[in-house]
Amino acid sequence: MTLSAVESMLPAHTSPLVLVGAGHAHLVMMRMWLQQGWQPPTGTLLISAGAQAWYSGMMPGLIAGRFALEDCAINLQPLCQRLGITLVQALVTALNTGEKHLTLDDGARVNYQLLSINSGSRPMGPDLCDGSVTVLPAKPFPEFIRHWQHWRHQPPVRLMVLGGGAAAFELALALKQQFPDSELSLACSGVLLHNHGQHLRTRAQHWLRMAGIQIYQHSRVDRIADKQVYAGHQRLQSIDALVLATGASALPWYAQSGLMCDDQGFIMVDSHLRSRDARVFAAGDAASSTGSVRSGVFSVRHGPTLAHNLRATLQAQALMPYQPQKNALALLATGDGGALMSYGTLAIGSRLSAPLLGRWKDYLDLSFMKRHRIVS
Ligand SMILES: Cc1cc2nc3c(=O)[nH]c(=O)nc-3n(C[C@H](O)[C@H](O)[C@H](O)COP(=O)(O)OP(=O)(O)OC[C@H]3O[C@@H](n4cnc5c(N)ncnc54)[C@H](O)[C@@H]3O)c2cc1C
């Protein structure tokens, strides 16, 4: 979109409320406002990198070939239209909290009175890579999907997934399901699924091995040279492509904005999801607060608090605190329609129970999509 195209969509004066990113929390929030019959003030903007919001929980199912593209994304225009919000398709590249304005990727400037940031995070790559292999971050999803579509015609022979969390586990199995003839491996710097109990970790490793996926644990991949993957001085193996599903890293403009950020560059928020600057809220992966974990589940849970607090700020009413849950249910897709379940130290996922758990996961994911999809 050109500068003049973006500017023609923007109000000439300062916007009363600007939402950055169509992450899970903003989706839930907008859906709640719709249910409550409340419309944000005229001139409210949603600035989103794309016209659709992708649902991460269904991404591995898409990659495994179990869902169609349209199953996994929500069109933002109908939702915005019903709420009287203007959708601006652009990337935010800078935030100046001193002057209360955002800069977009085409140079356009957006002034705000109240700002809410739900633009997520990016996976981290190895420190050094000589360009001899394709390095593909799992996010942003549109780019990842475009590349995966290309691979469907020409699969990489040797493929490694980097990361030790649920996303890496699910993506490795999904990619194996889609490209059974490719040699697949997974490498992580610590223990695989370190946030989960030992029981689930053992099961997950079993599933990966059964699928023929080589696992490298305690292997912090720091260098790719001449198609060789290195973890310190140890050479792991040769590859053609590397998928990054590593932990979240902050978008650089968070820390450059003048907002108080943690040592990883995520925006520090209080129990109301409000930053040190009372005109800026942050939710999902972008936010840093005690007790919050960076996952889609937690971002979804930020939604109702954000819906209340933005509305309350605009109406000069009392804010509501966000109460993080101690444990979250995790259903990890096994690529074949099955899933493993983890809740605290409890883990379920045998060959018998996995298909049933998979059906439950599909039901939950599809219900989420149904709830948030507005047909124009
Ligand atoms: C393959 C994969 C599978 C996963 N599966 C699960 C799962 O099953 N369960 C789970 O809990 N978590 C899962 N996760 C983690 C989950 O994706 C994230 O924690 C979650 O998406 C964070 O949500 P969010 O609301 O912060 O932002 P996101 O959902 O990442 O959304 C951010 C939005 O902001 C937009 N955006 C980004 N930058 C800008 C910008 N500069 N300007 C404007 N817009 C911008 C993006 O286009 C996107 O629409 C998975 C992650 C991956 C990679």
Q: For 104-122, how does the pLDDT look when each residue is reduced to its tens digit (9 = 90+)?
A: 999 999 999 999 999 999 9
Residue 100 has pLDDT above 90, yes or no: yes
Tell me the CA–centroid distance for residue 101 and ligand 1, in Å: 24
Tokens 């990883």 sit on residue = 264
Give 45's strand partners. 18, 86
For residue 12, name the pLDDT band (cuts at 50, 70, 90).
low
Average pLDDT rounded to a whole number, residues 217-234:
95
Cis check: omega of the bond before 140, within 30 degrees of 0 = yes
Beta-carbon contacts of residue 46 (< 8 Å; ≥ 6 apart): 19, 22, 26, 30, 76, 80, 85, 86, 87, 88
- Which residues surround ligand 1 with Cβ inside 6 Å? 20-25, 47-50, 53, 56-57, 59-60, 91-92, 118-120, 138-140, 166-167, 170-171, 245, 251, 284-286, 294-297, 299
Tell me the CA–centroid distance for residue 169 and ligand 1, in Å: 17
Nearest CA to ligand 1 atom 21: 296
pLDDT of residue 7: 55
By the 8 A CB rule, do 298 and 23 touch? no
Nearest CA to ligand 1 atom 1: 167
Average pLDDT score, the chain: 93
Give, as one character, the DSSP assignment of residue 202.
H
By the 8 A CB rule, do 289 and 269 touch? yes
Residue 208 has pLDDT above 50, yes or no: yes
Neighbours of 12 (CB within 10 A): 7
Alpha-carbon gap, residue 355 to 112, rounded angstroms = 48
The closest-lying atom of ligand 1 relative to the alpha carbon of residue 296 is 11
Q: CA 313: distance to chain centroid?
A: 27
Average pLDDT rounded to a whole number, residues 66-79:
95
pLDDT of residue 376: 64
The closest-lying atom of ligand 1 relative to the alpha carbon of residue 53 is 49
pLDDT of residue 325: 80
For residue 92, name the pLDDT band (cuts at 50, 70, 90).
very high
pLDDT of residue 115: 98
Which domains are seen in the chain, by residue range?
A: 3-121+250-314 (3.50.50.60), 123-247+329-372 (3.50.50.60)
SS (H, E, C) 300-346: HHHHHHHHHHHHHHHCCCCCCCCCCCCCCCEEEECCCCCEEEEECCE
Q: Of the candidates 139, 144, 105, which has an alpha carbon nearest to the alpha carbon of residue 122? A: 139
Q: Of the candidates 249, 252, 273, which has an alpha carbon nearest to the alpha carbon of residue 25? A: 273
pLDDT of residue 32: 96
Alpha-carbon gap, residue 369 to 371, rounded angstroms = 5
Average pLDDT rounded to a whole number, residues 35-60:
96
Substitution site in 87, 117, 119 for ligand 1 pocket (most atoms within 8 Å of beta carbon): 119
Q: Of the candidates 121, 183, 148, which has an alpha carbon nearest to the alpha carbon of residue 67? A: 148
Average pLDDT rounded to a whole number, residues 194-198:
89
Number of H helices, E strands in the chain: 10, 25
Using DSSP, state whether 114 is helix, strand or coil: strand
The closest-lying atom of ligand 1 relative to the alpha carbon of residue 57 is 8
Of all residues in the chain, the percent with pLDDT exceeding 90 is 85
Q: Of the candidates 215, 257, 206, which has an alpha carbon nearest to the alpha carbon of residue 236? A: 215
The closest-lying atom of ligand 1 relative to the alpha carbon of residue 119 is 34
Residue 292 has pLDDT above 80, yes or no: no
For residue 2, name the pLDDT band (cuts at 50, 70, 90).
very low
Nearest CA to ligand 1 atom 5: 57
Report DSSP letters for 148-196, one per residue: HHHHHHS--SEEEEE-SSHHHHHHHHHHHHH-TTSEEEEE-SS-TTTTS
Of all residues in the chain, the percent with pLDDT exceeding 70 is 96
Tokens 């009363």 sit on residue = 16
Tokens 């080589």 sit on residue = 214
